[in-house]
Structure 1
Amino acid sequence: MRVFKSLSLKISVSIMLAVALIFAAIILYNYFISRDLLLKNVEDNVKNLADGSAQKIEKVLEASAKIPQNLSYILGASQYSADELRNLLELIVENNDEVFGSCIAFEPYAYDTDSLYFAPYVFMTDSGPSFKYLNSESFNYFDEDWYRIPKESLKTGWSEPYFDEGGGDILMCTYSVPFFFDDEGQDLKGIVTIDISLEWLKDYVESIKTYDNGYAFVISAGGTFITHPLVETSIEQNVFQLAEERDYDVLRKAAKDMVAGGSDFILFDTPIIDGTTWLYYTPLPSAGWSLSLIIPEDEFMADLYELNRDLLLIGIIGFIILLIIVIYISRRITKPLTSLAQAAIEIGHGQLDAPLPAIKSKDEIGQLNASISKMQVELKNYIQNLKETTAAKEKIESELQIARDIQQGIIPKIFPAFPERDTIDLYAILDPARDVGGDLYDFFFIDDDHMCFTIGDVSGKGVPASLFMAITRTLLRARMDMNIKVNEVIEIMNNELCLDNDNAMFVTLFLGILNIETGRIEYCNAGHNYPYILKKNGSVEELKGTHGTPLGAMPDIGYGSSVVHLENNDTLMLYTDGVSEAIDTDENQYTEGRIKAKLAEFKGEDPETIIKQLIGDLDLFVGEADQFDDITMLVINWQKKEDAADE
Structure 2
Amino acid sequence: MADKNQKKNSRISLVSQISTFFAVGLIITLILSAFALKRLSDTNVVREKEMMSSGIASEVERTIKEYNSYEWVIDFLAKHADDPLLDIEYDGNYATNAKIFELQNRHPGLIINRVSSSILDEFSEEDQRLFAEVVYNDWLSRLNEIKASYGVAFLYIIACDDTYKDSMFIMTASDGLTHRGTGPEDAYVLGVTVDNFEERAETFKNLKGGDHVVYTEDYLDRYSYLFKVGGMNFIAGNTFELTDIKKEVQSRTYEFALLYIVLQILMSVFCLVLIYRFALKPLNIVTESIIKYSEDKDGGSARDHLTTIKTSNEIGALSKEFSAMTTEIDEYVTEITDITAEKERIGAELNVATKIQADMLPSIFPAFPNIRAFDVYANMNPAKEVGGDFYDFFMVDDDHVALVIADVSGKGVPAALFMVIAKTLIKNRALVGGTPSEILYDVNNQLCDSNTSDFFVTVWLAIINIRTGEGVSVNAGHEHPVLRKKNGAYELIKYPHSLAVSAMDGIRFKERSFKLEPGDRIIVYTDGVPEANNTEGELFGTDRMVASFNREPDADPVKLVGNLKEDIDAFVGEAVQFDDTTILVFDYKGEE
Please confirm whether the aligned pair reaches a TM-score higher than 0.5, indicating the same fold: no
Bin for the TM-score computed over the shorter chain: 0.3 to 0.5
Bigger Rg, structure 1 or 2: 1
TM-score computed with the length of structure 2 as normaliser: 0.40
